[in-house]
Amino acid sequence: MLQKYASSGKEHYLLSLTYVDNGGIESRNRINKIIDVEFEHFKSELFELGNKEPEGSHRKEVATNIIEHTNTLIAIGTRIRNILITNKDFEDPRKVKLAKDLVLNELTDAQESLNNGLDDLSYDYRQEYEAYQQSLAQELDLVFNSILYLGIFGAFLGIILSVYVTRSVTTPVLELIESAQKLGKGNFNVTVQHKNLKEINSLTTSFNSMASDLKSSFTKLTETTEDLEKERLKFFNESEKFMLALDSSSMGFWDFNIKTGDLKWDDQMFGLYGVKKENFAGAYEAWSNGLHPEDKARSEQELNAAIEGTKEFDTSFRVIHPNGAVRHIRATGKVLKDETGTPDRMIGLNWDVTKEYESAKAINEYSQLLEARNKQLNEFAYIASHDLQEPINTMGAFSDLLIKQYADKLDETGLEYLKFMRDSGTRAKELIADLLEYNRIGNDKHLAQLDLNEVAQAVLADLNARIESENAVIEIDHLPTLRGYETELRQLLQNLISNALKFKSEGTIPTIRISTIELGDAYQISVTDNGIGIDAKFSDKIFAVFSRLHSKSEFPGTGIGLANCKKCAEIHDGSIWVESELGKGSTFHFTISKKL
Ligand code: ADP
């Protein structure tokens, strides 16, 4: 601004010199503009500048002086403009001289003062600017030095950091890499210990858990591989053994391709079907054509059922050898499926069961024969015992008559013989009655759903008088409800309970317990007493008809009770046995099949 001010002042001075000599409208207009516009503008700017400076300061003083010089310039300039306005004024030498004097003297002085003032102010500002520049340079110097120190410090810090990073980051990372390489080579026993930094810590933890996972996966894999190898060896051994066993047995192995109908036989199969290897067609028909016509349709149906998955292939059939011999063959087979689940192959075994078939047939015939003979014997025993009853009864009745009416005619020995005769007759009568009863068991049996608790209660009711007279204690567990023959079960329980009451130990209160356990396909019922017990060596004998361990005088009875029990158990597809020790009581167990 000061420069522009100075140049405007200079221009005004030079224009004024020219104007007083030559006049001219352009110069006048320019002078007018400088005086009226530019000087006024500079003045107001200087005024503002001066206002910013403190009161009494050099600058404020110079600014005020410059404003005054400008006012002087404006005043002189205006005077000159007013003296020389028209051409006529320029033609007036007095006016021209006056104006020229004004320019050369007053305007020159004022212009000089203005220039001085402006120089002074410019100088002052320049000084300040230079001082500012200097201080700026010093500050920059300081900043530069600071940067330099910071740089050096940074360099040191960098070195320290790099050492720290090397220790904290690079070392663990290198260790991680090294451990990872070890892992890669199959050494799973690696763990990394560095935990300085949070990130390194989590990296290390993740690595260690990965290594541990890998280790356990590898261990599992190794174990599985070992197991597989064992299984493979086992399978190999088993199949070796199987093939050896097959070779040394009379079993034949067959392999049938369901899709193509191809059939493979091992050497044994040719023997079983009486076919020569070279005549074997290797197809399904080679088998089916060898079947006995009566067994063919059924056997083929069974094979198809196995392929369809509705039935296991386990059957028997007859084959007719080309020489006409008939053999019974047992056949088993397994269907193998392809990856889509479609039956693909069937493999199996054949073996000759002709001997077994013939033995079973013979046994069957024999057992039928036995059954028939048994039936005949039973009928004979029934008829005999029934028919015997009559003469024995007659014998008994006449023995009684003799004793009553002829006692006085006989001597003592004769009377004793007669009494023996009568007693034997009575005993024979009892035995025959028991035998008839034994025979009757199961002849008129009715299968029904029975609550064994009710059956037991009915038996106790029948035996009530004896139970009370003996003061016996009877405990009955909860018994099952089952299918059975009521009369026979009742007889069974009755015989066992009454034996338990009869064979009591001297001076003890009979205590009897009836309990049960459920076996797979049967119920087991047990009757336990605290009686005299049975010597273990008689534990089978006592179940035979008329078999007794005691004389009639010790314990009454005919020895048919347990034989009856045995028969009752057997018609329930069960069995009966005793566990006992002399003097320590007995437990009779019997079973009743659930499949009746
Ligand atoms: P009986 O009771 O008529 O003698 P059983 O066939 O019932 O005939 O019994 C055969 C024999 O078995 C008995 O004579 C007895 O010696 C023995 N016996 C049976 N039950 C018991 C029992 N609970 N305690 C001891 N002995 C027994």
DSSP 220-246: HHHHHHHHHHHHHHHHHHHHHHHHHHH
User: Closest residue (by CA) to atom 7 of ligand 1?
Assistant: 561
pLDDT of residue 20: 85
Integer Cα distance of 430 and 435 in angstroms: 8
Integer Cα distance of 271 and 129 in angstroms: 130
* Residue 130 to residues 126, 141, 192, 240, 307, Cα–Cα distance (Å): 6, 16, 66, 112, 114
Which residue type occupies 51? N
Going by their DSSP bridges, the two strands 511-518 and 473-476 should be labelled as: parallel
Atom of ligand 1 nearest to the CA of 563: 6
* Residue 513 to residues 254, 527, 531, 572, Cα–Cα distance (Å): 59, 6, 12, 22
pLDDT of residue 42: 86
Listed in sequence order, the residues at least 6 apart from 476 whose beta carbon sits closer than 8 Å to its beta carbon are: 453, 456, 513, 514
- Report whether 344 contacts 258 (CB < 8 A): yes
- Report whether 13 contacts 35 (CB < 8 A): no
Integer Cα distance of 117 and 134 in angstroms: 25
Integer Cα distance of 126 and 59 in angstroms: 12
Integer Cα distance of 9 and 76 in angstroms: 13
pLDDT of residue 247: 64
* Residue 199 to residues 169, 193, 204, 211, Cα–Cα distance (Å): 9, 13, 8, 18
- Report whether 518 contacts 480 (CB < 8 A): yes
pLDDT of residue 503: 96
Q: Which secondary structure element, helix H or strand E, spans residue 348, and what is its range?
A: strand 343-352
CA dihedral 477, 478, 483, 484 (to 10 degrees): 30
pLDDT of residue 169: 64
Ligand 1 in reach of 510 Cβ (< 6 A): no
Ligand 1 midpoint to CA 558 (Å): 9
Which residue type occupies 157? L
Ligand 1 in reach of 256 Cβ (< 6 A): no
pLDDT of residue 60: 85
Ligand 1 in reach of 534 Cβ (< 6 A): yes
pLDDT of residue 373: 87
| Nearest in space to 549 (alpha carbons), one of 560, 561, 563, 538 | 538
Per the listing, tokens 């050369």 go with 104
176: number of Cβ within 10 Å: 19
Ligand 1 in reach of 532 Cβ (< 6 A): yes
Ligand 1 in reach of 512 Cβ (< 6 A): no
Judged by DSSP in three states, 594 sits in: coil
User: Closest residue (by CA) to atom 12 of ligand 1?
Assistant: 542
Per the listing, tokens 């990296």 go with 203
138: number of Cβ within 10 Å: 10
| Nearest in space to 269 (alpha carbons), one of 329, 223, 342 | 329
| Nearest in space to 9 (alpha carbons), one of 77, 58, 84 | 77
Q: Which secondary structure element, helix H or strand E, spans residue 319, and what is its range?
A: strand 313-320
Q: Which of 435, 548, 553 to mutate to test the pocket of ligand 1 (most atoms within 8 A of CB)?
A: 548
Ligand 1 midpoint to CA 483 (Å): 28
Q: Which secondary structure element, helix H or strand E, spans residue 516, and what is its range?
A: strand 511-518
Integer Cα distance of 382 and 432 in angstroms: 9
| Local mean pLDDT, 10-residue blocks, the chain (596 residues) | 83 85 84 87 85 85 88 88 84 86 87 85 80 74 66 62 63 74 71 67 77 78 76 67 66 93 93 92 91 96 95 96 95 92 93 93 92 82 79 87 88 90 87 87 92 97 96 96 97 97 95 96 97 96 93 90 97 97 96 96
Residue 253 has phi, psi (to 5 degrees) of -110, 135
Ligand 1 in reach of 550 Cβ (< 6 A): yes
Ligand 1 in reach of 590 Cβ (< 6 A): no
Angle CA 511–514–519, to nearest 5: 150
Atom of ligand 1 nearest to the CA of 543: 6
pLDDT of residue 485: 97
| Nearest in space to 124 (alpha carbons), one of 42, 58, 45, 65 | 58
Q: In three state form, how does the secondary structure of 538-557 look?
A: HCCHHHCCCCCCCCCCCCCC
80: number of Cβ within 10 Å: 21
Bridge partner list, 588? 527, 578
- DSSP 8-state assignment for residue 533: -
Structure tokens at 579: 């566990």
Q: Which of 562, 568, 587 to mutate to test the pocket of ligand 1 (most atoms within 8 A of CB)?
A: 562
Residue 404 Cα to chain centre, angstroms: 94
Alpha helices (H) along 249-260: none
pLDDT of residue 470: 94
* Residue 495 to residues 314, 359, 568, Cα–Cα distance (Å): 46, 40, 11
Judged by DSSP in three states, 345 sits in: strand
DSSP 446-465: -EEEEEHHHHHHHHHHHTHH
What is the side-by-side order of every strand in the sheet holding 313-320? 263-265, 252-257, 343-352, 326-337, 313-320
Q: Which secondary structure element, helix H or strand E, spans residue 182, and what is its range?
A: helix 171-184
Per the listing, tokens 């110069």 go with 27
Atom of ligand 1 nearest to the CA of 560: 6
pLDDT of residue 531: 97
| Nearest in space to 97 (alpha carbons), one of 87, 111, 83, 108 | 83
Listed in sequence order, the residues at least 6 apart from 319 whose beta carbon sits closer than 8 Å to its beta carbon are: 272, 273, 274, 290, 291, 292, 326, 327, 329
Which residue type occupies 550? H
Task: Tell me the chain's radius of gyration from C-alpha atoms.
Answer: 70
Which residue type occupies 117? G
Listed in sequence order, the residues at least 6 apart from 169 whose beta carbon sits closer than 8 Å to its beta carbon are: 197, 200
User: Closest residue (by CA) to atom 11 of ligand 1?
Assistant: 548
Ligand 1 in reach of 561 Cβ (< 6 A): yes
User: Closest residue (by CA) to atom 25 of ligand 1?
Assistant: 533
Ligand 1 midpoint to CA 241 (Å): 55
| Nearest in space to 343 (alpha carbons), one of 460, 414, 459, 257 | 257
pLDDT of residue 235: 63
Angle CA 253–268–297, to nearest 5: 65
User: Closest residue (by CA) to atom 20 of ligand 1?
Assistant: 499
Atom of ligand 1 nearest to the CA of 585: 24
pLDDT of residue 152: 63
User: Closest residue (by CA) to atom 1 of ligand 1?
Assistant: 559
Q: Which of 501, 542, 582 to mutate to test the pocket of ligand 1 (most atoms within 8 A of CB)?
A: 542
Alpha helices (H) along 310-411: 354-406
